[in-house]
A and B are shown apart, each in its own frame.
Chain A
Amino acid sequence: MEKVGIVGYNQVKLYSDANYGRYEMIFEAVRGAMDKAGLKKKDITTVISCTNDYYEGRTISNCYTVDVGGGYMADESKVEMDGAHAVLYGLMRILSGNHKLAVVWGGSMASCFPYHSTRLFETDPTWERPVALVNDITACGFQMRAYMEKYGVSAGDIAKIAVKNRKNATKNPLALAEAQNANLTVNDVLESDIYADPVTELMVAKPCDGVAAILLAPERQALKITDKPVWITGVGYNQDTYYLGDRDLSKSNSMELASKTAYSTAGIKDPKNEIDVVEIFEQTACEELILTEALGLADNGKGINLNSEIGGELPINPSGGGIGGNPPCATGLIRIIEAAKQLRGEANGYQVKNANKAIASGQIGMCAQNNIVYILEGGN
């Protein structure tokens, strides 16, 4: 694959109920990324946004974000999945050879719309939706039970992932304040209120407000813009079947297949040894283990045996991950930004040593129905 570089990024501080509006938040993210990279509006050749019409409360939701998102009188379009999928579209635009700078941004404000209702609206309107028993809440309960029963993993072991991510989030100033907790114990997680048994409240990546932006450029352009580009050397994406009742929720076939494509594009044969840091978009603590295993970083059911702390054998979500704050349409994009920060040595306070190759993943759908994986590499 031709080299495409990440040449800039910016993320707003995540809030559970931000005191400012979408317009300003998008502008802050996009203009901030441009300013930090020393670029101007005229340098933008294409803009890809990621919003969801249900989340924004208006149809063709990119119609109103054009001006604030750098898309005024520009080549502009939208992806309605995760921000990580918008990066794929941006990557394709750059690889087409027609563009010198792509702005990719995504995000929303979960404080302004009924998030769980919009997830109910993912279900079949002629079958599951009228009965109203399936949304992201019940889906993650099914997923964790399937995983625990298949592999005999305890809730206490799964809670360790929530402890790790919430502890990591305390070092990330942009994480959601409510998600940060340096003194949390496994018992605190287990004794927090039931969300969807066996999932408890503190195991969940809570939807919040936030926007993030990333800048992509072809190799030659990237080297002119920055002396610290991060290269996208591999990408893979895959979609599982629709009905939750058709799937084996104890694992993620779509992530496994997506990662195989990404590894082969990037020439990675032994991911566990070749990768230095991983940023996964996990909706729950349990899902981080399922996706870690699907990425081939641990055997099925053994994800908890991998030391994934900062400073561990393979750090996963040193930024706090999705549990550290989950702004719909931005969370996967933030994982890519966090991985890029690690490779550029800019993850102040949660920097992983000698980080040269990273995995970043995004997802969309119930129990991560669709997964997208990037392999990122630092250095010139």
Chain B
Amino acid sequence: MTEKIIVANKGMVRAEFNFWVGRYMDKFYDGLEQKKIIGNKCPKCGDVFVPPRKICGKCNETISLEQNWVDLAETGTLVNYTITPYKVNDKRGRKAKDQIVGMVKIDGSNTCIIYSLLNIKPEEVKTGMKVKIEWAEKPKGAPSDIKGFIKV
């Protein structure tokens, strides 16, 4: 058996994608820039989505861009969490400092968003606890405007 050699052609081609966020997410990101959370509501089942959706998959209905918007609080409930030493965006799957990642249901919504839990020790984290958004100092209308959640 010979040793395996992997040749990577670095820099030959960079396939970078552009994604159109769409009008619904555009409005949502405008909200984030103002440090506001807005969701939208399915006219049929009444579920409130954060971030907003154009289509409710369950009802197979379009949620109109003109109405159904719901202004929501910056507080929510920690529904679930995990703690991992792995860096999620690391290509080599390396480990770093433990990171607490929470699934938070923003008050008044029916879906959860996933962000870091900040300024908290692992042993203090409990599902069901109330949390609120820690905003970026200078929001720019991007997912990173929410730095994470802190305990209320």
Contacts and interface: CB of A to CB of B under 8 A. Distances in A.
A116 B144 CA distance: 21
A142 B115 CA distance: 13
B2 interface: yes
Contacts of B57: 241-242
Contacts of A116: 86, 88, 90, 93
B93 A245 contact: no
A197 interface: yes
Interface string B60-104: 000000000000000000001111111011111100001101010
- Grouping DSSP codes into helix (H, G, I), strand (E, B) and loop, the A interface class, with mixed when no group exceeds half, is mixed
A131 B19 contact: no
B138 interface: no
B93 A112 contact: no
A126 interface: yes
A56 interface: no
A20 B88 contact: no
A194 B88 contact: no
B129 interface: no
Interface in A110-153: 111-112, 114-117, 120, 125-128, 130-135, 137-138, 141-142, 145-146, 149
Contacts of B115: 131, 133
B3 interface: yes
B120 interface: no
A18 B17 CA distance: 32
A142 B80 contact: yes
A127 B25 contact: yes
Interface string A232-252: 000000000111111001000
A20 B5 CA distance: 9
B17 A125 contact: yes
A130 B143 contact: yes
B112 A112 contact: no
B88 A244 contact: no
Q: How large is the interface on A (under 10, 10 to 19, 20 to 34, 35 or more residues)?
A: 35 or more
B113 A138 contact: no
Nearest to B93: A116
A112 B88 contact: no
A19 interface: yes
Nearest to A126: B21
B86 A18 contact: no
A358 B134 CA distance: 51
B143 to A, nearest CB: 5
Residue among A117, A132, A133, A142 facing the most chain B CB atoms (10 A cut-off): A133
A251 to B, nearest CB: 14
Contact of A196 (B6, B21, B86, B114): B86
A379 interface: no
B99 to A, nearest CB: 8
A21 B3 CA distance: 11
Contacts of B101: 133, 138, 141
The 5 closest A-B pairs by CB, nearest first: A141-B82, A245-B112, A132-B89, A197-B83, A196-B84
22 contacts: A19-B4, A20-B1, A112-B6, A114-B92, A126-B22, A126-B25, A127-B51, A130-B143, A130-B144, A131-B144, A133-B99, A133-B116, A135-B88, A138-B84, A141-B101, A142-B80, A194-B84, A194-B85, A195-B84, A195-B86, A196-B84, A245-B111
Given A21-B4, A244-B103, 7 more contacts: A116-B86, A120-B88, A126-B25, A128-B114, A131-B114, A131-B115, A245-B112
